[in-house]
Amino acid sequence: MNVVTTALSMSRLVRPISVAPMIDVTNPHFLQMLRIISPRYALYTEMIHSNAIINHREDISRFVGVANEDTVVQLGGCDPGNMALASKIVQDHGFKEVNINVGCPSDRVQHGNFGAVLMKTPHVVANMLNELEKASVQIPVTIKCRTGVDDLDSIEFLHNFIEVQLSSSRPPPHIIIHARKCHLQGLSPRQNRNIPPLDYNRVWHTAKKYPQAAFSINGGFRTTESVIEAISKIDGCMIGREVMDNPMFLQQLDRDVYKIPEVQLQSSASIIDNYLSYVNDFLSAKGHGAHRPSIAIMAKPVMMLYQGGLGRRFRRALGEEMILERKNSKDLAIWNLDRVVYRAMEQVNLNQESDEPKYQRASL
């Protein structure tokens, strides 16, 4: 066994590498494209407030999609009873895991008294875990937090937060730590992802101190080498912006971490074909309901597939084709995403030498 294989086999997580929850990014459609690219990773939904789940309990799919074995639903909220009820609803819809957001620093989230501000009141988070039994929640409920908040940034503060959770009646089996503190005042969410320095050693130390839980580390992982180093030290590694910027990074991980032969990896052409098939099935099932997503939302995952000059040309061509499609069929444009995408690919391939396969015009 090599180092990577040994690390994977020793992890207590079924999927040691995961894709982080990202607002306005990890919606059901983006997660479906990631699932098509590779089936090997845990995929976290964007944070959904517990009230949204409760108020739409009959159909939560517009927020979190349909249940898949690889999907973790991230919930935000501050009311322990509501968080437990929302977790039960998620469970009843077939999902296998819930994660509690204790790391988002945005003003809107702070004003709702959830996200990272909850690190200041660890007993409130523990009460959420305590309420799970009363709500008959049986699936794992995990936590994602920061290393600290504002001036509460000592390792003792982090360890106290974790100890309170592990002392609850339903201790979390898995804790994900973003290896940065956050500033609730003075920094935007984007700045909080970059300005506070990373402190990986604090996470390694914490994971060793509390072996009763599995730990994952999040923050700044943009190369396969850094991911491999992380999973050699801890149960799991969570990747965010690199997958957002380059979804095909999952295939780099397939090659370098899981040693998947190149011939077994899907081409971008096949990924797009499969994603468009998903879109057509999804829209056919939705009909013309009020919650039918726009063509821009459905097209966004495809726009993110290509990088560099080819990516810029493709996104420009796709935007032009979307405008043209809206002019020609205003009411039915959403049904013609496949036509829009294939025409954009033709534009790019006709004017650019590329290693990507040439697209044939779809039957129109």
Residues known to be catalytic: 104
| CA–CA gap between residue 282 and residue 35 (Å, rounded) | 15
Cα 335-341-346 angle, rounded to 5 deg: 140
Among candidate residues 340, 354, 362, 259, the one with its CA nearest the CA of residue 306: 354
The whole-angstrom distance between residue 150's C-alpha and the CA centroid of its chain comes to 25
Q: What are the residues whose beta carbons fall under 8 Å from the beta carbon of 76, sequence distance 6 or more?
A: 47, 48, 49, 50, 100, 101, 104, 109, 112, 114, 115
CA distance 188 to 253: 30
If residue 300 lies in a helix (H) or strand (E), which one and from where to where? helix 295-303
Burial letters for 199-232: b for 16+ Cβ neighbours within 10 Å, e otherwise?
bbebbbebbeebeebbbbbbbbbeebeebbbbbe
Dihedral sign, Cα of residue 232, residue 236, residue 242, residue 247: positive
**Closest Cα partner for 217 from 194, 234, 229?**
234
Name the one residue in this structure whose structure tokens are 């033709």.
346
317 membership: H or E segment, kind and range: helix 308-328
Q: Which of 3, 6, 26 is nearest to 238 (CA)?
A: 26
- Contact status, residue 116 vs residue 72, Cβ threshold 8 Å: no
Please give the Cα distance from 208 to 10 (Å, whole number).
14
Measure the CA angle with vertex 360, ends 358 and 364; round to 5°.
Answer: 155
